[in-house]
Amino acid sequence: MELNIILPDGRELAVPEGKTAGEILKEFAPKYLKNAVAVRLNDEVLDLNRPLHTGGKLSVLTFDDPEGREIFWHSSAHLMAQAVKELFPDAKLAIGPPIKEGFYYDIDMDRTLTPEDLREIEARMQQLVKEALEIIREDLPINEAVRLFKEMGEDYKIEILSEIEDDSVSVYRQGDFADLCRGPHLPNTRAIKYPKLLSIAGAYWRGDEHNKMLQRIYGTAFPKKSLLEEYLNRLEEAKRRDHRKLGKELDLFSINEAVGPGLILWHPKGAFIRNAVETFWREAHFKAGYDLLYTPHIARLDLWRTSGHLDFYRESMFSPMQIDEVEYQLKPMNCPFHIQIYKSQLRSYRNLPLRWAELGTVYRYERSGVLHGLMRVRGFTQDDAHIFCRPDQIESEIVSVLDFTLFFLRTFGFEKFNIYLSTQPEKFVGTQESWEIATEALRRALEKKGVAYQVDPGEGVFYGPKIDIKIQDVLNREWQCTTIQVDFNLPERFNVNYIGEDGQSHRTIMIHRALLGSLERFFGILIEHYGGAFPMWLAPVQAAVLPITERHHEYAAGVAQALTNAGVRVFTDDRNEKVGYKIREAETQKIPYMIIIGDKEVEQDKISYRKRHKGDQGQIDLKDFIVMIAEEIAAKKITD
């Protein structure tokens, strides 16, 4: 039997059934084979060396494609597992998926791995790359697969197999190594030219702390040495920018065991930045037609029973507390409070939309193993807002929120965004009609704004579709910040209505909206994005006054006071140290401006100043400097 195949260049040809995509490309389109990782036949991604049994359009996936990178890194995880098994035969393999920018494999072994072991495993991986072992897919009946992995002593694979309902599974072999896997994979190990193992961590089997702790080996791999070197340089830069390291060096925040893990202590400098963010946030919201709310940190447990959080979110909530023999709960969300304010009086269609925002601190239980500086905490402040509107107002409100979001994120210096429209999941509340209305409103709003977006099928929350906006920082890392969610669930649960033009009661639409996500996490992102060198309007110390000797202290104090009166945050370094040392200290603290006061400045009633990253800027009248610096703060410039 012959198959009709359409090549990547559009040519059509008939090939015998059972021929592999790799063989077809080698014979008829060899230029596409050079960088091929796998192929897509119609909508199915396949191994290059998998026999074809259906015809259709053939396209090539390379390392430059997201799916291609996943395949490359998944094959790299298998390569690492093979090297581990050859060096440590008693090791038992759990799972080894591709992740963003690499892979990991969870391994059960008595030996605690060391950095020296990683180097040995990596060296063995490089040998296996040179051996160019063919990677072969084999489909086995479940019982044969179980027998295979029993013989290999792979208990975790047997557990996985026990939960698979299909009649057969695929196994991938390379040399003497075999692994349970759906694939697809690279055609051979030679393609994984530059593997690199990065670190070791602990991980509970299946993420359950009641299960055994396994050793997780993280790694990456690239087809070109230059790509690996670029990645390693980015890793080093990320270490230099680590918000936990800079937070301590710049005295911005701390986490104290006496207080509790995941709870942030904001130091004066960090609190200044937070205040600058919050002040901007409030002023911008007032201008955008929002009203501000304040709500309690706790509420009766019944409120969370009505909202459904006890059913859907209990694992992330702290234990209730007893007050006057009534159970109360630390709030994990702000929304039920806003609903109660809405319901405090009858609302007319003429009152809508209502836009209510709150910097509301919430508390969520996170396992200690996932806590991470400012990025994953147990107490955090959401820049939360809820819009109560009619169905016909959804689209226009979403357009306004998108405008507001992009203005906000750009003000903080972010220009690259990835936007996702998440649609109806398998399990949902509300009617099919309401989902279609909301999803189309979100889609039309995105298209009206002319922004590029991707549809994320089935990834909406159970109570409604949503838009997620992820920002890219200076290292091109992606961070989830903004989410815009249409909610049918809470209005239904709390009976949230308005009186329509017809005099009848109608269900109100509720839009959840967070621009920054949480102040703690966003602060961590800002620290790493700027490497601690904040733009002028966010800098906790905006100018350092550096008198050269004690006789310059009085003039320096006058300069500092004038700057303070103008609203500039100033630090005066009047220590008995050389001015060069003071300058280096100010640069280490990443202060935007340094004002040098010596004999010449006192005599001429001027100042000399230096600018961060740009060095000496010469002399200037103090009043002109104040105007310049005030304009820079007001303009919220994001670069030096």
Pairing assessment for the beta strands 168-174 and 177-180 based on DSSP bridges: antiparallel
Q: For residue 353, say if its preceding peptide bond is cis, omega within 30 degrees of 0.
A: yes
Q: Is residue 385 part of a domain?
A: yes
Residue 62, strand partner residues: 36
pLDDT, residue 88, reads: 97
- Is residue 107 very low, low, confident or very high in pLDDT (cuts 50, 70, 90)? very high
Contacts of 195 (CB under 8 A, 6+ apart): 76, 79, 80, 122, 125, 126, 129, 219, 220, 221
The secondary structure of residue 391, as a DSSP letter, is G
Q: What is the mean pLDDT of residues 414-428?
A: 89
Using an 8 Å Cβ cutoff, are 558 and 619 in contact?
no
The secondary structure of residue 538, as a DSSP letter, is T
- Is residue 223 very low, low, confident or very high in pLDDT (cuts 50, 70, 90)? very high
Q: Is residue 243 part of a domain?
A: no
Looking at the structure, tell me whether residues 343 and 400 fall in a common domain. yes
Residue 456, strand partner residues: 422
Place of tokens 């109100």: 508
What does the alpha-carbon distance between residue 273 and residue 271 come to, in Å, rounded to a whole number?
5
Looking at the structure, tell me whether residues 104 and 203 fall in a common domain. yes
Which is nearest to 8 in space by CA: 70, 60, 73?
60
pLDDT, residue 426, reads: 84
425 versus 300: the higher-pLDDT residue is: 300
Residues with a catalytic annotation lie at: 335, 364, 382, 384, 386, 466, 512
Domain ranges, residue 401: 253-295+334-529
Using an 8 Å Cβ cutoff, are 51 and 21 in contact?
no
3-state DSSP of 581-620: HHHHHHHHCCCCEEEEECHHHHHHCCEEEEECCCEEEEEE
pLDDT, averaged across the chain: 93
What does the alpha-carbon distance between residue 329 and residue 298 come to, in Å, rounded to a whole number?
5
Residue 487, strand partner residues: 510
**Token digits of residue 624:** 């002109």
What does the alpha-carbon distance between residue 469 and residue 511 come to, in Å, rounded to a whole number?
15
Q: What angle do CA 544, 237, 67 make, to 5 degrees?
A: 140
What does the alpha-carbon distance between residue 467 and residue 449 come to, in Å, rounded to a whole number?
13
What does the alpha-carbon distance between residue 609 and residue 570 come to, in Å, rounded to a whole number?
14
Using an 8 Å Cβ cutoff, are 477 and 319 in contact?
no
Provide the residue count of the chain: 640
pLDDT tens digits, one per residue of 591-604: 999 999 999 999 99
Using an 8 Å Cβ cutoff, are 501 and 538 in contact?
no
Which is nearest to 47 in space by CA: 8, 20, 16?
20
Q: What is the mean pLDDT of residues 457-480?
A: 89
Sign of the four-CA dihedral 306, 498, 464, 517: negative
Q: What is the CATH number of the domain that holds 466?
A: 3.30.930.10
- Is residue 209 very low, low, confident or very high in pLDDT (cuts 50, 70, 90)? confident
pLDDT tens digits, one per residue of 145-186: 999 999 999 999 999 999 998 999 999 999 999 999 999 999
Q: Is residue 327 part of a domain?
A: no
Q: Is residue 467 part of a domain?
A: yes
Q: Is residue 318 part of a domain?
A: no
pLDDT tops 80 at residue 640: no
Q: Is residue 179 part of a domain?
A: yes
What does the alpha-carbon distance between residue 100 and residue 587 come to, in Å, rounded to a whole number?
34
Q: What is the CATH number of the domain that holds 43?
A: 3.10.20.30
pLDDT tens digits, one per residue of 5-64: 999 989 999 889 999 999 999 988 889 888 999 999 998 999 999 999 999 999 999 999
Looking at the structure, tell me whether residues 378 and 498 fall in a common domain. yes
Looking at the structure, tell me whether residues 57 and 91 fall in a common domain. no
- The total number of structural domains in the chain stands at 4
Looking at the structure, tell me whether residues 406 and 277 fall in a common domain. yes
What does the alpha-carbon distance between residue 569 and residue 543 come to, in Å, rounded to a whole number?
7
What does the alpha-carbon distance between residue 195 and residue 589 come to, in Å, rounded to a whole number?
37
Last residue of a domain, one of 10, 41, 62: 62
Angle between helices 268-287 and 394-411 (to 10 degrees): 140
What does the alpha-carbon distance between residue 385 and residue 401 come to, in Å, rounded to a whole number?
10
Q: What angle do CA 116, 120, 125 make, to 5 degrees?
A: 145
Looking at the structure, tell me whether residues 403 and 454 fall in a common domain. yes
Residue 358, strand partner residues: 384
Angle between helices 394-411 and 432-449 (to 10 degrees): 50
Place of tokens 């997201």: 66
Pairing assessment for the beta strands 98-99 and 102-108 based on DSSP bridges: antiparallel
Q: Across 77-134, where does the E strand assignment appear?
A: 92-93, 98-99, 102-108
pLDDT tens digits, one per residue of 306-343: 988 888 778 888 999 999 999 999 999 999 999 999 99
What does the alpha-carbon distance between residue 590 and residue 250 come to, in Å, rounded to a whole number?
8
Looking at the structure, tell me whether residues 72 and 147 fall in a common domain. yes
pLDDT tops 80 at residue 232: yes
pLDDT tops 80 at residue 428: no
Looking at the structure, tell me whether residues 463 and 495 fall in a common domain. yes
The secondary structure of residue 415, as a DSSP letter, is -
What does the alpha-carbon distance between residue 434 and residue 391 come to, in Å, rounded to a whole number?
9
Query: What percent of the chain has pLDDT above 70?
Result: 100
What does the alpha-carbon distance between residue 205 and residue 202 come to, in Å, rounded to a whole number?
10
Q: What is the mean pLDDT of residues 416-425?
A: 91
- Is residue 461 very low, low, confident or very high in pLDDT (cuts 50, 70, 90)? confident
Q: Is residue 322 part of a domain?
A: no
Buried residues in 275-287 as b, exposed as e (16+ CB within 10 A): ebbeebbeebbee
Looking at the structure, tell me whether residues 446 and 585 fall in a common domain. no
Rg, C-alpha atoms of the chain: 30
Q: How many CB atoms lie within 10 A of CB 225?
A: 10
Q: What is the CATH number of the domain that holds 574?
A: 3.40.50.800
- Is residue 374 very low, low, confident or very high in pLDDT (cuts 50, 70, 90)? very high
pLDDT tops 90 at residue 627: yes
Residue 360, strand partner residues: 382
Using an 8 Å Cβ cutoff, are 340 and 307 in contact?
no
Looking at the structure, tell me whether residues 49 and 72 fall in a common domain. no
Q: How many CB atoms lie within 10 A of CB 414?
A: 21
Q: Is residue 246 part of a domain?
A: no
Place of tokens 């799916």: 67
pLDDT, residue 57, reads: 94
pLDDT tens digits, one per residue of 244-270: 999 999 999 999 999 999 999 999 999
Which is nearest to 329 in space by CA: 338, 342, 344, 316?
316
Place of tokens 């040098």: 596
pLDDT tens digits, one per residue of 73-104: 999 999 999 999 999 999 999 999 999 899 99
What does the alpha-carbon distance between residue 123 and residue 112 come to, in Å, rounded to a whole number?
19
Q: Write 623-627 long-range contacts (CB < 8 A, 24+).
A: 625/595, 626/562, 626/563, 626/566, 626/568
pLDDT tops 80 at residue 429: no
Last residue of a domain, one of 18, 47, 62: 62
pLDDT, residue 1, reads: 79
Looking at the structure, tell me whether residues 497 and 351 fall in a common domain. yes
Q: What is the CATH number of the domain that holds 196?
A: 3.30.980.10
What SS3 class is residue 153?
Answer: coil
Looking at the structure, tell me whether residues 29 and 141 fall in a common domain. no
Last residue of a domain, one of 62, 77, 111: 62
What's the gap between Cα 7 and its chain centre? 37
